[in-house]
């Protein structure tokens, strides 16, 4: 599984970071998402799914 | 359906802990309902969770308050008429995205975390004051309003010697006890204060939100005094009564559910999830999220025509039983993060993580330092803001 982030759509709400700081961070500059680990495994897979669900702008998707 | 039969928005709350029945009925009856709004026009109302998220994330719906079809739920229509700089809340697409990204760096999860020690100090100081007074105090006055006010001061870089002026005026503009003119006067004083503050920072930017924005926007060649004053004022307004009311309502809910409060006190890790549930449960800005369609759009089988206004009601959406089982049950452990209390889509609340941090620090500190806190009046006698655009409490008398 791979996490795809579209920073063009990202509105910087940080919901992904709140869900899993091991997978996501935000740019200091414009607050948009930075994917720290785009190939989560184990428990992090569920977290990635949750982040996709709570992201308010559909900036995140998963390639299964 | 004739015009006369159309439900009229906004609907006042009748029970402090449940949405108006009208909202529930609308959600159960059909996906979209046509309603009458104060200016005599009609608008579509969205009440289901899935539809709410869809509409708010669909760029064919515009936030432009200057569009003739934009539905206002307050008498008098567009409150931004005549303002010099268009507020971010009214922008769309690329223009909105650029304005938002310019200030977003100030509200990242990390940035907000860095503010926590200062928020803690503010909350501790206010609770010290409460404890030194004793007897019966109004929590709205002593804690709920001053917390967001002082945090905004900190963020904007309001100099310490101006705190009292700033806080006094924000208190006036947020309070019902003042006649309309006094509230307007307070808003005027705050606006001109913020304009002076921005002018001072133009000469000497300093390391705060406004100062950093000035430096950054000047470097980009896009700096405008009025736009920054407008941003400062938007942050002040947006982050004020909202957070204050959630502090008051959340305190009532926690005091009324001692078993659940005990669990939070035993494990501070439970506070954040509990806050999500409190946000869902009260959805204090249920009726302010509106859009206008820029082209024909089909939502759940109904075509919304270009130019039609759409009101997304967060309250029924957050009480949609398809998404939140037994929504009337306050369940602080339900994991309610997908609520729409902060809106959804590109305009989702910019300051939400700051609000979360303030609420978390307040609830953890208040109940740790005053474990015997209790309401000084029964819940039924409290002054809830049933008709206000932002739901909350006018006063919250407590003792311990
Ligand atoms: S949750 Fe979505 S919009 Fe928010 S920062 Fe993450 S990717 Fe961006």
Q: Are strands A2-5 and A60-63 parallel, antiparallel or unpaired?
A: antiparallel
- With a 6 Å cutoff on the Cβ, whether A23 touches ligand 1 is no
User: To which residue do tokens 């806080």 refer?
Assistant: B167
Are the beta carbons of B219 and B136 closer than 8 angstroms?
no
Chain A residues in contact with B352 (beta carbon < 8 A):
13-14
pLDDT tens per residue across span B170-212: 888 776 665 778 888 888 999 999 999 999 999 999 999 999 9
Q: Is B61 touching A (CB cutoff 8 A)?
A: no
Ligand 1 geometric centre to CA of B92 (Å): 18
Q: Is B108 touching A (CB cutoff 8 A)?
A: yes
Distance CA B153, CA B193 (A): 12
- With a 6 Å cutoff on the Cβ, whether A18 touches ligand 1 is no
Chain B, 41-60: which have a CB under 8 Å from a chain A CB?
56-57
3-state helix, strand, coil in chain B (%, to 5): 55, 10, 35
Residue B15's CB is within 10 A of a number of other CB atoms, namely 11
What's the rounded mean pLDDT across residues B6-31? 91
Q: For B349, which residue in chain A has the nearest alpha carbon?
A: A13
Phi/psi for A26 (5° steps) reads: -125, 145
Ligand 1 geometric centre to CA of B171 (Å): 33
Q: For B98, which residue in chain A has the nearest alpha carbon?
A: A30
pLDDT tens per residue across span B249-258: 999 999 999 9
Helices (H) and strands (E) in chain B, counts: 15, 10
Are the beta carbons of A36 and A50 closer than 8 angstroms?
no
* Residue range(s) defining the domain that contains residue A41: 2-63
Q: The pTM is what?
A: 0.94
Confidence of residue B81 (pLDDT cuts 50, 70, 90): low
B105 with A14: Cβ contact below 8 A: no
**List of residues 6+ apart from B311 with CB closer than 8 A:** B9, B35, B37, B43, B44, B45, B46, B71, B73, B287, B289, B290
- With a 6 Å cutoff on the Cβ, whether A3 touches ligand 1 is no
Residue B55's closest CA among B281, B216, B290, B230? B290
Task: Write out the two tokens for B80.
Answer: 């931004």
pLDDT tens per residue across span B93-128: 899 998 899 899 999 999 999 999 999 999 999 999
- Looking at residue B88, its pLDDT comes to 87
Task: Write out the two tokens for B205.
Answer: 């930017």
Are the beta carbons of B400 and B372 closer than 8 angstroms?
yes
- Looking at residue B173, its pLDDT comes to 78
> Atom 4, ligand 1: which residue's CA is nearest?
A13
In chain B, pLDDT over 70 holds for what percent of residues? 95
What's the rounded mean pLDDT across residues B272-294? 93
- With a 6 Å cutoff on the Cβ, whether A60 touches ligand 1 is yes
What's the rounded mean pLDDT across residues B302-328? 96
A57 with B346: Cβ contact below 8 A: yes
A30 with B102: Cβ contact below 8 A: yes
Q: Is B329 touching A (CB cutoff 8 A)?
A: no
CATH class of residue range B92-282+320-399: mainly alpha
Task: Write out the two tokens for B147.
Answer: 């917390």
Does residue B288 carry a pLDDT above 80? no
Phi/psi for B44 (5° steps) reads: -90, 145
Between the alpha carbon of residue B131 and those of residues B38, B140, B249, B285, B373, the distances in Å are: 45, 15, 21, 32, 11
Predicted ipTM of the assembly: 0.92
Three-state SS at B343: coil
Does residue B2 carry a pLDDT above 50? no
- With a 6 Å cutoff on the Cβ, whether A25 touches ligand 1 is no
Average pLDDT, chain B: 92
Does residue B84 carry a pLDDT above 50? yes
Distance CA B130, CA B366 (A): 10
- Nearest CA distance, A15 vs chain B (angstrom): 9
Q: Considering only the beta carbons, identify the residue of A17, A54, A56 that sits closest to B109.
A: A17
Are the beta carbons of B363 and B263 closer than 8 angstroms?
no
Phi/psi for B309 (5° steps) reads: -85, 145
- Looking at residue B239, its pLDDT comes to 86
A30 with B104: Cβ contact below 8 A: yes
Q: For B102, which residue in chain A has the nearest alpha carbon?
A: A30
Buried b (16+ CB within 10 A) or exposed e, B291-330: bbbbeebebeeeebeeebbbbbbbbbbbbbeebbeebeeb
Radius of gyration (Cα) for chain A, nearest Å? 10
Confidence of residue B3 (pLDDT cuts 50, 70, 90): very low
Does residue B1 carry a pLDDT above 60? no
Are the beta carbons of B390 and B284 closer than 8 angstroms?
yes
Chain A residues in contact with B276 (beta carbon < 8 A):
none
Q: For A12, which residue in chain B has the nearest alpha carbon?
A: B104
Confidence of residue B141 (pLDDT cuts 50, 70, 90): very high
Helix ranges restricted to H, B204-347:
209-220, 225-238, 241-256, 258-266, 271-282, 314-318
Q: Considering only the beta carbons, identify the residue of B57, B100, B349 that sits closest to A58.
A: B57
Does residue B363 carry a pLDDT above 90? yes
- Looking at residue B82, its pLDDT comes to 63
Confidence of residue B38 (pLDDT cuts 50, 70, 90): confident
Does residue B220 carry a pLDDT above 90? yes
Distance CA B109, CA A2 (A): 23
Q: Are strands B42-46 and B309-312 parallel, antiparallel or unpaired?
A: parallel
Residue B289's closest CA among B249, B317, B327? B317
Pocket test for ligand 1, best of A6, A10, A23, A47 (most atoms within 8 A of CB): A10
pLDDT tens per residue across span A20-51: 999 999 998 899 999 999 999 999 999 999 99
- Looking at residue B245, its pLDDT comes to 95
Distance CA B300, CA B64 (A): 24
- Looking at residue B286, its pLDDT comes to 82
Distance CA B64, CA B67 (A): 6
* CATH classification at residue A56: 3.30.70.20
Structural domain count of chain A: 1
């Amino acid at each position: 599984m791979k996490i795809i982030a579209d920073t063009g759509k990202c509105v910087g709400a940080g919901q992904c970071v709140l869900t899993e700081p091991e997978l996501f961070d935000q740019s200091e500059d414009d607050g948009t998402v930075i994917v720290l680990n785009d190939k989560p495994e184990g428990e992090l897979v569920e977290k990635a799914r949750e982040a996709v669900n709570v992201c308010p702008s559909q900036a995140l998707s998963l390639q299964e | 359906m004739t015009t006369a039969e159309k439900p009229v928005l906004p609907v006042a709350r009748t029970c402090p802990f449940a949405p108006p029945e009208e909202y529930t009925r609308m959600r159960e009856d059909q996906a979209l309902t046509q309603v009458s709004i104060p200016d005599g026009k009609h608008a579509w109302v969205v009440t289901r969770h899935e539809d709410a998220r869809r509409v708010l994330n669909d760029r064919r719906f515009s936030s432009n308050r200057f569009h003739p079809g934009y539905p206002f739920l307050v008498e008098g229509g567009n409150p931004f008429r005549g303002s010099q700089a268009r507020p971010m809340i009214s922008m769309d697409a690329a223009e909105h995205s650029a304005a938002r990204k310019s200030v977003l760096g100030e509200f990242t999860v990390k940035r907000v975390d860095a503010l926590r020690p200062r928020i803690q100090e503010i909350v501790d100081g206010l609770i010290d004051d409460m404890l030194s007074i004793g007897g019966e105090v109004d929590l709205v006055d002593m804690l709920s309003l001053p917390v967001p006010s002082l945090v905004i001061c900190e963020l904007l870089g309001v100099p310490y010697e101006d705190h009292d002026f700033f806080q006094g005026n924000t208190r006036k503009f947020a309070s019902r006890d003042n006649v309309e003119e006094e509230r307007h006067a307070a808003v005027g004083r705050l606006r001109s204060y913020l304009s002076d503050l921005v002018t001072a920072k133009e000469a000497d930017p300093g390391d705060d939100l406004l100062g950093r924005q000035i430096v950054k926007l000047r470097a980009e060649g896009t700096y405008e005094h009025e736009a920054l004053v407008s941003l400062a004022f938007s942050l002040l307004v947006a982050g004020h009564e909202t957070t204050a009311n959630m502090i008051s309502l959340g305190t009532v809910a926690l005091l009324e559910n001692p078993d659940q409060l005990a669990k939070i006190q035993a494990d501070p890790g439970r506070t954040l999830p509990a806050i999500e549930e409190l946000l869902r449960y009260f959805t204090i800005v249920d009726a302010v999220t509106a859009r206008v369609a820029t082209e024909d759009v089909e939502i759940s089988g109904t075509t919304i025509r270009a130019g039609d206004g759409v009101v997304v009601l967060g309250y029924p959406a957050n009480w949609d039983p398809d998404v939140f089982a037994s929504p009337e049950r306050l369940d602080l452990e339900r994991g309610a993060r997908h609520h729409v209390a902060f809106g959804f889509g590109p305009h989702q609340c910019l300051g939400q993580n700051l609000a979360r941090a303030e609420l978390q620090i307040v609830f953890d500190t208040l109940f740790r330092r005053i474990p015997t806190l209790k309401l000084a009046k029964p819940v039924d006698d409290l002054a809830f803001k049933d008709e206000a655009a932002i739901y909350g409490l006018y006063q919250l008398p407590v003792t311990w």
